[in-house]
Amino acid sequence: METKKELKILLGIVVVFLAVFFLPVQSPVFNTAVAATFDLAKWYAQEHVILCLLPAFLIAGVISVFVSQASVIKYFGAKAKRWVAYTVAAVSGTILAVCSCTILPLFSSIHKRGAGLGPAIAFLYSGPAINILAIILTARILGLEIGVARFLGAVVFSVLIGLIMAVIYRKEEKVRAEEQMNFPDVPENRPLWQTALHFFTLVLILVFANWGKPGEGDTSSLWYYIWAYKWYITGFFGLGLVYSMIAILKLKSWQVLLGAVVTALSALLIGNPLVSVVVAIAAVSSIALMDKSEDGENREWIISSWGFAKQIMPLLAIGVVIAGFLLGSTHDNTSIAGVIPNSWVAWAVGGNSVLSNFFASIVGAFMYFATLTEVPIVQGLLASGMGKGPALALLLAGPSLSLPNMLVIRGVLGTQKTVVYVAIVVILSTVAGLIFGAM
Q: Tens of pLDDT along 181-222?
A: 555 555 566 777 787 888 788 878 877 887 777 766 677 778
Mean pLDDT of 134-143: 71
pLDDT above 80: residue 35: yes
For position 431, what pLDDT does the model report? 93
For position 1, what pLDDT does the model report? 59
Higher pLDDT, 255 or 96: 255
Work out the number of other CB atoms within 10 angstroms of the CB of residue 223: 18
Q: Looking at the whole model, is its pTM more than 0.75?
A: no
Mean pLDDT of 365-389: 71
For position 342, what pLDDT does the model report? 66
Mean pLDDT of 281-306: 79
For position 120, what pLDDT does the model report? 83
**Contact (CB, 8 A) for 158 and 130:** yes
In which element (H, E) is residue 336 found?
strand 334-336
Find the farthest-apart pair of alpha carbons in the chain and give their distance in angstroms, rounded: 72
pLDDT above 80: residue 83: no
Mean pLDDT of 406-429: 89
Mean pLDDT of 234-263: 86
pLDDT above 90: residue 268: no
Cα–Cα dist 137/254, whole Å: 43
- Helix or strand or coil: residue 130? coil
